[in-house]
Amino acid sequence: MSEDLARLQRALGYRFQDESALLRALTHRSAGHDNNERLEFLGDALLNFVIGEAVFLRLPKAAEGDLSRMRAMLVREETLAVVARRIELGEVVRLGSGELKSGGFRRDSILADGLEALIGAVYLEGGFAAGRDLCLRLFAPELDHLPDPGTLKDSKTRLQEHLQAAGRPLPEYTVLNEEGPPHRRSFRIRCRLADDGSESTGEGASRKFAEQQSAERMLHNLIESGGRHA
């Protein structure tokens, strides 16, 4: 077994009895038919359950919505890629020549998929306990430093809750401008409070992003002013 694979298994805290299972988990679809896509599917399912259980136990007073947002934050592609880089997965992932030349070993999506595939492979060989232990070990830094669930709410939700708590009407969102070709649209959205006429705007490549930005600016303005009417 190569030193790279031995190093990876030390980082995982798990030693494969069947090296072919490890190699399959590391093989991207660009490198051949015997790749990690099916293992990725399995690992994704196990990871969602284990992380869901973990946040449930760590946040005994959190509501269902907060738990869902916390789990989503932990199992999203960006977080998985961070964990994958921590164990230097990019150094051993097996890619086709095209992906290799384009730097696929650095791409978040490939690293995240590879991490899920490794989890799936450990589960198949070692069973549920081994798979669960691996997930908890890999995500220990994230689980030990969970953010305030309230900070995970999107800007529109936080603005709505802020206004409702103050007994104020919900904001109105209006498209002020939409331009550009279909593949490069640009939106400008206005967020307006009907009770005092205050406004904020947001811009972005999608209506959703622009609305979130306008809501974030409105919420910032309200907090800065102490929530008072203008």
Reported as a single tens digit per residue, the pLDDT across 19-37 is 999 999 999 989 988 999 9
According to CATH, where is 1.10.1520.10 located in the chain? 3-146
Kindly state the average pLDDT of the residues 91-100: 89
- Residue of 109, 116, 105 whose CA lies nearest to 36: 116
> Quick check: 198 and 224 in contact, CB under 8 A?
no
β-bridge partners, 27: 94
> Quick check: 19 and 42 in contact, CB under 8 A?
no
- The mean pLDDT of the chain is 92
- Residue of 89, 144, 143, 145 whose CA lies nearest to 116: 89
**pLDDT for res 230:** 38
Report the relative pairing of strands 172-179 and 186-192 from DSSP bridges: antiparallel
Grouping H, G, I as helix, E, B as strand and the rest as coil, residue 191 is strand
Query: Given the structure tokens 């593949």, which residue do they identify?
Result: 183
206-223 per-position pLDDT tens digit: 999 999 999 999 999 998
CATH 1.20.120.420 matches 3-146: no
**pLDDT for res 150:** 72
The model's pTM is: 0.70
Does the pLDDT at position 191 exceed 70? yes
Does the pLDDT at position 227 exceed 60? no
Grouping H, G, I as helix, E, B as strand and the rest as coil, residue 15 is coil
Grouping H, G, I as helix, E, B as strand and the rest as coil, residue 94 is strand
**pLDDT for res 32:** 83
- 44 given a catalytic annotation: yes
Q: Which of 40, 44, 99, 216 is catalytic?
A: 44
Q: Which CATH class, in words, describes the domain spanning 153-224?
A: alpha beta
CA distances from 14 to 69, 82, 142, 187, 194 (A): 30, 19, 20, 49, 59
pLDDT cut 90: percent of the chain above it: 77
Q: Which residue has the higher pLDDT, 2 or 173?
A: 173
Q: Which residue has the higher pLDDT, 65 or 124?
A: 124
Distance CA 1, CA 107 (A): 26
Does the pLDDT at position 136 exceed 70? yes
> Quick check: 211 and 189 in contact, CB under 8 A?
yes
According to CATH, where is 3.30.160.20 located in the chain? 153-224
- 3 given a catalytic annotation: no
**pLDDT for res 112:** 95
Does the pLDDT at position 228 exceed 60? no
Q: Which of 99, 113, 116, 211 is catalytic?
A: 116
pLDDT classification of 229: cutoffs 50, 70, 90: very low
> Quick check: 193 and 169 in contact, CB under 8 A?
yes
pLDDT classification of 99: cutoffs 50, 70, 90: confident
157-188 per-position pLDDT tens digit: 889 989 999 999 999 999 999 998 887 889 99
CA 84 to chain CA centroid, nearest Å: 13
Alpha helices in 76-206 (DSSP H): 77-86, 97-101, 108-126, 128-138, 140-143, 155-165
Q: Which positions ≥6 away from 189 have C-beta within 8 Å?
A: 173, 174, 175, 176, 201, 202, 203, 207, 210, 211, 213, 214
**pLDDT for res 224:** 85
Does the pLDDT at position 1 exceed 80? no
